[in-house]
Amino acid sequence: MPSASASSRAGANKAPAIVWFRDDLRLADQPALAQAAASGLPLICVWIHDPHACGERPAGGAARWWRHESLRAFEASLAARGGRLLLLQGREAATLDALVTETGAQAVYWNRRYGLAQREADRALKISLRERGVSVESFNGQLLKEPWTVLNQSGAPFQVFGAYWRACLRMGDPPQPKGEPERMIFQSLPARVTQRASKLDALGLAPRAPDWSGGLRAVWPAGEQAALERLRAFLATGLDAYAGERDEPGDAATSRLSPYLAVGAISPRQVWAALKAAQHAHGRGSARRAASAEKFASELGWREFCHYQRFHYVDLATRNLRPAFDAMPWRKDAAGLKAWQRGLTGYPLVDAGMRELWHTGWMHNRVRMVVASFLSKHLLVDWRAGESWFWDTLVDADPASNPANWQWVAGSGVDAAPYFRIFNPVLQGQKFDPRGAYVRHWVPELAGLPDALVHQPWKSGAQQLEAAGVRLGKTYPEPVVEHELARRRALEAYAQTGSARGLGASRQGPKQSAKQRAKQDGKA
């Protein structure tokens, strides 16, 4: 374990370096922190609370709670090394600029962000600081491959995940993750800075009246060590079964690392390196382990692909990537949307997923696809309404993965699920939750039904319902829509859009080549 060190006599005579933390709340494999520590300068570690930073939409309730808990854990990690996380509130650029002036900082380090507005803001800030003689460096702390480095043979962005991921794999493994800096010197802060510093509780990230976070807190321990422990446990006990059991929501077969990746408590490079090590821990490993490792790696790749889309396509959360979908005849169905949000659609697998989400801030990936398909195809409610609900209720809400996945399911995005793929929630439940364990846990009013009926209670006889204590329409709702009717209606609606058409130029962001954007954005 690296030794803790406070500001030294030698370091106290040097102008400090600022490390600006964003979605990278960890000490290990933290390129900006590592480079700042290697400079030998005394460090000021800062996190700036700006709810509307760079025009980004404010984080949802569950993500704010998770950020609060993650910041608390990160504060403790820095304190254990003799440091402090300075919490400031205000507009990002103005607040950082003022901090540079007040502390006389000679260098600023950060890890890059990939939204267009974020890149532009970081680039402008970098230019401004450099004009003042301040050294500014930025790094990749969030992705395996930065988006401008992976292009097709025409120099354009990939639109199909398989081709994109094969190109990534041909580029070789990402750099090996590094541990915590061996030595860090921390700068004592002047009074004018500490006087305007905020306490974590004053940021208003955590709910208070009422505090609805009890279910989230019971499931998600925050911080870097919790993330590493979860990764180790998954690789030790869950990896071998991952490929075969990952789609079964009743089993704990997935890593559940997405919330930690979202706040940067762990890096994708750390996950990648640990996966490779686990894969080859016993020689070449079993065929089962190899298949599972390949599948898990591709899930990391899918996360990369979502960030890739966010980089290359503007307004991912608000505009259809396929312009044909602008003609989609979405239905205004407030009652159906509310039933979906509350887990009262009458389809047990859908309802179980939505209740899991509300209680824990997370939902199993297979079920996410089913509930998203149900909203956008069974109910024909605009995918953006579902994306917005997920944004507010997921602890792993991510500005790339959340909208990209919703567009994929709805059919409006790149490499989208075919429009005619309309998940049957009954068949999905019977296939992936055949014993009904997942449904019985989250929809306990159906627990007394036999396995054959727990995913379709409306097919139960009167005596079976009575024996199970189920009164359809009373203790559990009738289906809000009949599946075959919904399927036909959805196919008719999709036919109106000409859904087979591809991505249009109007959805491809600024009219610059990928190489031009790389020059401008690659070092922001």
The reply to whether 439 falls in a domain is yes
Q: How far apart are CA 503 and CA 24, in angstroms?
A: 33
- Exposure string for 187-218, b = 16+ CB within 10 A, e = fewer: bebeeebeeeebebeebebbeeeeeebeebee
Which comes out higher in pLDDT, residue 320 or 7?
Answer: 320
383 in active site: yes
Query: What does the block give as tokens for 246?
Result: 């990952």
Which tens digit of pLDDT belongs to each residue from 96-135? 999 999 999 999 999 999 999 999 999 999 999 999 999 9
Write down the pLDDT at residue 4: 44
299 in active site: yes
- Exposure string for 138-164, b = 16+ CB within 10 A, e = fewer: bbbbbbbbbbbebbeeeeebbbebeeb
The reply to whether 276 falls in a domain is no
Q: Rounded to the nearest 5°, which phi and psi values hold at 114?
A: -125, -5
Which residue of the set 245, 365, 445, 458 is catalytic?
Answer: 365
Q: What angle do CA 20, 133, 5 make, to 5 degrees?
A: 45
Q: Could you give the number of structural domains in the chain? A: 1
406 in active site: yes
302 in active site: yes
Which tens digit of pLDDT belongs to each residue from 284-331? 567 888 899 999 999 999 999 999 999 999 899 999 999 999 999 999
Which residue of the set 20, 383, 391, 442 is catalytic?
Answer: 383
Write down the pLDDT at residue 314: 85
The reply to whether 410 falls in a domain is yes
Which residue of the set 56, 152, 212, 330 is catalytic?
Answer: 330
Which tens digit of pLDDT belongs to each residue from 173-213? 999 999 999 999 999 999 999 999 999 999 999 999 899 99
Q: Which of 3-7, 287-291, 334-338, 459-463 has the lowest mean pLDDT?
A: 3-7
The reply to whether 489 falls in a domain is yes
Mean pLDDT of 447-465: 97
Percent of the chain with pLDDT over 90: 85
pLDDT-derived band of residue 12, with 50, 70 and 90 as boundaries?
low
Q: List Cα–Cα distances, 306 to 85, 115, 145, 255, 400, in angstroms.
A: 30, 12, 12, 19, 5
Q: For position 456, which CATH number holds?
A: 1.10.579.10
Write down the pLDDT at residue 353: 98
Write down the pLDDT at residue 499: 56
pLDDT of 450 above 50: yes
Which amino acid, 198?
A: S
SS3 assignment for 206-263:
CCCCCCCCHHHHHHCCCCHHHHHHHHHHHHHHCHHHHHHHCCCCCCCCCCCCHHHHHH
Which residue of the set 120, 212, 302, 458 is catalytic?
Answer: 302
Q: How far apart are CA 429 and CA 435, in angstroms?
A: 9
Mean pLDDT of the chain: 92
Give me the half-sphere count of Cα atoms (radius 13 Å) on the Cβ side of residue 261.
23
pLDDT of 283 above 60: no
Q: List Cα–Cα distances, 128 to 58, 94, 516, in angstroms.
A: 26, 11, 21
Mean pLDDT of 469-479: 98
Burial (Cβ within 10 Å: 0-12, 13-18, ≥19) of residue 500: exposed
Which residue of the set 391, 406, 408, 442 is catalytic?
Answer: 406
Instruction: Provide the angle, in degrees to the nearest 10, between the axes of the packed helices 383-393 and 348-360.
Output: 40
Which residue of the set 120, 245, 294, 299 is catalytic?
Answer: 299
The reply to whether 327 falls in a domain is yes
Mean pLDDT of 511-515: 44
| pTM strictly above 0.85 | yes
Mean pLDDT of 453-462: 97
pLDDT of 261 above 70: yes
The reply to whether 15 falls in a domain is no
Quote the domain boundaries for residue 341: 323-505
Query: What does the block give as tokens for 171?
Result: 């580029």
Query: What does the block give as tokens for 380?
Result: 């024909």
Q: How far apart are CA 399 and CA 113, in angstroms?
A: 11
Which tens digit of pLDDT belongs to each residue from 132-168? 999 999 999 999 999 999 999 999 999 999 999 999 9
Which tens digit of pLDDT belongs to each residue from 331-340? 999 999 999 9
Q: How far apart are CA 182 and CA 1, in angstroms?
A: 8
- Exposure string for 94-113, b = 16+ CB within 10 A, e = fewer: ebbbbbbeebebbbbbbbbb
* Contact (Cβ atoms closer than 8 angstroms) between residue 412 and residue 320: yes
Which amino acid, 442?
A: W
* Contact (Cβ atoms closer than 8 angstroms) between residue 46 and residue 96: yes
Residue among 252, 224, 250 nearest 237 (CA): 252
Q: Tell me which DSSP letter residue 186 carries.
A: B
The reply to whether 441 falls in a domain is yes
pLDDT of 456 above 60: yes
Residue among 299, 268, 308 nearest 141 (CA): 268
The reply to whether 351 falls in a domain is yes
272 in active site: no
Distance of CA 161 to the CA centre of its chain: 18
pLDDT of 507 above 50: no
pLDDT of 3 above 80: no
